[in-house]
Structure 1
């Protein structure tokens, strides 16, 4: 029997790095797969691979509050604030929904893509950029989610990474799923476009 996996997962990587931070019981590092299955590679071009409903692609008041609080934490560490990015937010929204609908909690999505391949599928620059992802589940409110991330060294490293200047954020509710609420934050070193608001 495997230990229960906590619903937290951080990842980060520069454009050519092939490692990720994964949380498995005790937040251990693991290596990303070098290649995707052929079916997953073919699926990255499909509309399902990048289609995001407006409610998941737009930033609401609670999500903006969470970004403000992350930026307050960054300022306390003398780091530049993160600017909300539309491409990163669409990617985060898709991932949060995918976790709920697929009834799974993993950085690898239901199409077999890791965060970096997923970001590229959504049009985020992959050359010479830093990218990362934090995931959480089970809390509707940002306070408990933020505390989970702050109390986890790998998640905190993502939030305080000086390479990042942009963030995407999504919080979605999927009724009937194991955790009901799913959060995804995606980080990047480059801002691409504004995110819509709700």
Structure 2
């Protein structure tokens, strides 16, 4: 059995390489770790608050018309009595004068009807979005996840949860390695782990990556990783909160992507 360790420095990323010889099956593993350029592994947070003022003021009620009494016109003065001439003709009497009609007070104007109140249509509210549920682990992925959390529990670390974006980054890298028969932390397009994790949509404050090939079962690849100081350090790093796991064929190319979101 031979072991080989190679250190490669980029953006303060420590890469360790170890190889384990199994009869008839070539196996190898590599590990890298990045704290985002800060050896203390501090996280960055971003907060955002927004306020939208609003106000509403109702319109005034329409004025009401108030009836006004109009004084009654005074009746005409009575005409003076005419003297009666003493003649042989019979006395004539004046016909009664018709009384002028009395003025009627003006009627109150009808109260104008209130215009109907039209409610402004409310803008449709965007549907509430909930965080994407963690993908359900199955098969080899579920087995590796269980073994990782078993080792973390023994070391006093919190269990990591499977993250869909980290899983996509891990699976894409495993497929890329298998397609080019090349185990490396550098993708065929020249990408490093941080670039691939970011490209998958994961906003990280720190991350780590383990890769391996040739191990046919989850138990064997985990044994190989735990026997390598660099890989073991990633698996037992208590600052990591989430994980993505990928496996591609042929030749069993494995990827673990650990991360802590900003």
TM-score normalized by structure 2? 0.52
Verify: 1:125 aligned to 2:203, yes or no.
Answer: yes
Q: Does the aligned pair in 1 maintain the 2:35–2:206 contact within 8 Å?
A: yes
Report how many residues are paired.
144
Per-residue CA deviations over 1:38-78 (Å, capped at 9, x if unaligned) read: xxxxxxxxxxxxxxxxxxx9843221111111101101111
Superposition map of 1:39-188 within 5 A: 59-126=137-204, 129-174=205-250, 180-188=251-259
The whole-number CA distance in structure 2 between the counterparts of 1:125 and 1:156 is 24
Equivalent residue of 2:215, what SS?
coil
Runs of at least 5 residues in structure 1 that lack an aligned partner in the other structure: 19-56, 175-179, 192-198
Change (3 A) 1:59 1:140: farther
Per residue, is there more helix in 1 or in 2? 1
Q: 2:131 maps to which residue? A: none
1:143 CA displacement: 1.1
Per-residue CA deviations over 1:138-188 (Å, capped at 9, x if unaligned) read: 0220111001100000000000001101000011212xxxxx111000000
Could you say which structure has the greater relative contact order, defined with CA pairs below 8 angstroms and 6 or more residues apart?
A: 1
TM-score normalized by structure 1? 0.68
Larger Rg, first or second structure (1 or 2) = 2
The whole-number CA distance in structure 2 between the counterparts of 1:111 and 1:143 is 31
Q: Does the aligned pair in 2 maintain the 1:59–1:169 contact within 8 Å?
A: no
Runs of at least 5 residues in structure 2 that lack an aligned partner in the other structure: 6-16, 20-27, 40-134
The whole-number CA distance in structure 2 between the counterparts of 1:11 and 1:17 is 15
Per-residue CA deviations over 1:86-115 (Å, capped at 9, x if unaligned) read: 000000000000001012111000000110
The whole-number CA distance in structure 2 between the counterparts of 1:89 and 1:58 is 11
